[in-house]
Structure formats: structure tokens, C-alpha cells
Amino acid sequence: VVQLINKGAKVAVTKHGRTPLHLAANKGHLSVVQILLKAGCDLDVQDDGDQTALHRATVVGNTDVIAALIQEGCALDRQDKDG
């Protein structure tokens, strides 16, 4: 991931509007989340369901990722389509 970012790789979104941060948060890949945060990714991008990376980490119970996102200053007041 670091090598790709350093070489200028695009940090794209999926067809559902999810970013690499959404995907890493959902899978509990803390080290990837930390790399993406250091690279300056947007913490609060909402996907097609209006979910942020924090939502994705919370849904699956990835507490280490949740803590990292909060420590970086992610928004705590974003609501998804379900409220």
C-alpha cells in the first residue's frame, strides 16, 4: 500500500462509493488504516449508503480501527441512510 501511494496510485472508490479506508476499516486492517491516514485520506467520505469508515468499523466491531479513526478526528455525528 505504501509503495503504491508513494508512486502516485489513485486512491479510487468502488462502485458502491467505498474508499480503500472503508474497505480496510471493514476488514479490521489497522496497519492499512494507519497508512491511509498518514497519507492524508479523507476520514469522512460517505459511501452510497451514507456510511463512513467509522460506520464500517463499528458494524463489524473493529475496536482498534474505531479508536484510530476517532483519534485522527473523524466526524462522530454522520448518519447513514438508516439514521
CATH number for the domain spanning 44: value is 1.25.40.20
- The mean pLDDT of the chain is 90
What burial class does residue 12 get, using C-beta atoms within 10 Å of its C-beta: 0-12 exposed, 13-18 middle, 19+ buried?
A: exposed
- Residue 29 pLDDT greater than 90, yes or no: yes
Region 16-30 average pLDDT: 94
Instruction: With respect to residue 76, please indicate whether it lies within any of the assigned structural domains.
Output: no
- The band of 13, judged by pLDDT with boundaries at 50, 70 and 90, is confident
The pTM (predicted TM-score) of the whole model is 0.84
Instruction: With respect to residue 10, please indicate whether it lies within any of the assigned structural domains.
Output: yes
Instruction: With respect to residue 47, please indicate whether it lies within any of the assigned structural domains.
Output: yes
The residue range of the domain holding 16 is: 2-71
Structural domains in the chain (count): 1
Region 26-55 average pLDDT: 95
Rounded to whole angstroms, the Cα distance separating 52 from 42 reads 10
